[in-house]
Amino acid sequence: TEEDDDMLPRIGIIGAGIGGTSSAYFLRQLFGEKATIDIFEAEKVGGRTAVIKINGLNYEAGGSVIHTKNKYMVKFAEKFNKSALTHSDSFLGLYDNKGIVFETSKWAPIALAKLIWRYGFDLYTIREWTKNLVASKFDRIYEFQDKGMAFTTVDDMLRAMSEDFLNMTQHSLRDVLREVGVSQRFVDELAMAAMRANYGQTVDVHGFVGAVSLLGAEPGLWSVVNGNKEISEDLLKESKASFIEAKVLSVALMKDERGTGNIAYEVEYEETHPDKKDKTNSKEYDIVIVAAPLEGSKSKISFVDFTNPLPSISQKYHTTIAMFVQGCINKTTFNVNSQGDFPPDMLTVSPDVFFNSVGLLSSVNPEKQPDVAPEADQAVWKTFLNKVPSEEQISILFESRQDLRFVEWLAYPEYSPNMKLPPFQLYDRLYYINAVESAASAMEMSVIGSRNVALLAFNQWFNHFDKIDEIHLPVPASKTEKDNSEL
Ligand SMILES: CC(C)=CCC/C(C)=C/CC/C(C)=C/CSC[C@H](N)C(=O)O
């Protein structure tokens, strides 16, 4: 009825990365066709899943990959009929300032033998550890969410999955791994290399993000043909939210102008679409969802006229530089005879090395990829760094180049044990999806955060308080129920 429609909220989402677009999708499912959902983004849809075009081919600009156990990303890919682009696993090198300290091989059985020779059964121990963490603890979040349950803080969400996860955020990855029983060499080399490649940091991060990083270094990872950003685009389309190409300037607390006596928010924004450029506008919402980092971002949102202070968010963000070079690896630096001898995944094991990783890229459009391997100087490489490199540093890495691009990316928080985990709820009906990144930043984590915020907003709107911050599952979900759950 019309009366029921009056009960539906006007929702403004700030940010159209995977977190923002998936929250629009979940909110539409929960509130139905008639709720108003707007989504603001100054640049393109996709955020960390954006692509970059080099010489007519597209490449993933960020570092986002999907693990086969990532239930939401896998289901979205299935739902939107996406094909998988699998990532090759075998030939890997480890580099410190003195040179290549270890490399596997182009031939998988030899690669495996070399790994066992150097690290014994550590790889097996770690694989069993992560497999067990996912199956017995991490997967519980999907059961909570399928039952409509939500959490106001990241602490409570982790505690609901397992008290062990909260503990892992209080200890360094180094200490957590020693407890698991792997060798010091594994910690100093493979765990360190995974942290540097995935998060630009070291094994001094907390253990939870460390476990995610190790999962992000397992074989069998994949991404979506044509780019992961297509998932964000499809979610946005499916949500039927209105896309507003604009930079949000402020969120002001106000009284609902419709005279309901409720609070509302006025979102002020500057249009960025070329046809309306620089025009400032504002819109009123009942619920506002922030789906972009609140700290460290160049365009800071002001929160004005709040009667009580907002929780302080001291989540310092790490800037990652992705450098794209079409050209030839420097054979002298890496002491290799030919380009083909250089491991296509070169990781680093020391914070003193000025780059975090160098990897040979494949285009996200396999059908446009030439059938024959490209000439050495046509190869495209992605280097992750913590700072923009000098010209000299670029030449240390590449002896010749035809193209050079940089993408600067406010990628993930700086992680440390005992860091404060920000809340999902900033104020009455004001929510923060990126709080989840303090536990770990990855596409699946953003979707988990976004579904949590959508459920929290829904439960609070309709006073379903029994479904908020209940850290125990009411009834264990049966396998069939879990497998049939519809997203
Ligand atoms: C901590 C446990 C037990 C499970 C986590 C499951 C999960 C979220 C796995 C994701 C693994 C993955 C694909 C990590 C990628 S690392 C971050 C990446 N560089 C990015 O920027 O997204």
Would you list the DSSP string of 408-470? EEEEEEPP-TT----BSEEETTEEEGGGGGGT--SHHHHHHHHHHHHHHHHHHHTT-GGGBS-
Q: Is 138 in the pocket of ligand 1 (CB under 6 A)?
A: yes
Q: Which atom of ligand 1 is nearest to 62's Cα?
A: 21
Q: Is 161 in the pocket of ligand 1 (CB under 6 A)?
A: no
The pLDDT of residue 215:
96
Which residue, by CA, sits nearest to atom 15 of ligand 1?
216
Which residue, by CA, sits nearest to atom 7 of ligand 1?
212
Give the pair of three-digit tokens for residue 331.
């054979």
The pLDDT of residue 150:
98
Q: Is 212 in the pocket of ligand 1 (CB under 6 A)?
A: yes
Q: Is 446 in the pocket of ligand 1 (CB under 6 A)?
A: no
Is the CB of residue 160 less than 8 Å from the CB of residue 439?
Answer: no
What is the best residue among 22, 48, 65 to mutate for testing ligand 1's pocket, by most ligand atoms within 8 Å of CB?
65
Residues with pLDDT less than 50, the chain: 479-480, 482-484
Q: Which atom of ligand 1 is nearest to 134's Cα?
A: 3
Q: Is 134 in the pocket of ligand 1 (CB under 6 A)?
A: yes
The label of the residue with tokens 């009284």 reads: 255
Closest to 486 measured CA to CA, from 4, 26, 90: 26
Is the CB of residue 264 less than 8 Å from the CB of residue 53?
Answer: no
CA torsion 466→262→299→289, rounded to 10°? Answer: 30
What is the best residue among 22, 209, 212 to mutate for testing ligand 1's pocket, by most ligand atoms within 8 Å of CB?
212
Which of the 8 DSSP states describes residue 260? S
Q: Is 60 in the pocket of ligand 1 (CB under 6 A)?
A: no
Q: Which string of DSSP letters, residue by residue, matches 71-127?
A: HHHHHHHHHTTPPEEEPP-S-EEEEETTEEEEE--SSHHHHHHHHHHHHTTHHHHHH
Q: Which atom of ligand 1 is nearest to 208's Cα?
A: 1
- For ligand 1, the distance from its centroid to the CA atom of residue 251, given in whole angstroms, is 31
Q: Is 168 in the pocket of ligand 1 (CB under 6 A)?
A: no
| Model pTM score | 0.94
Q: Is 194 in the pocket of ligand 1 (CB under 6 A)?
A: no
- For ligand 1, the distance from its centroid to the CA atom of residue 442, given in whole angstroms, is 5
What is the number of other CB atoms lying within 10 angstroms of the CB of residue 483?
Answer: 8
Which residue, by CA, sits nearest to atom 14 of ligand 1?
216
CA distance 236 to 351: 39
- For ligand 1, the distance from its centroid to the CA atom of residue 101, given in whole angstroms, is 26
- For ligand 1, the distance from its centroid to the CA atom of residue 15, given in whole angstroms, is 21
- For ligand 1, the distance from its centroid to the CA atom of residue 276, given in whole angstroms, is 38
Q: Is 61 in the pocket of ligand 1 (CB under 6 A)?
A: no
The pLDDT of residue 369:
66
Residue 94: what residue type? L
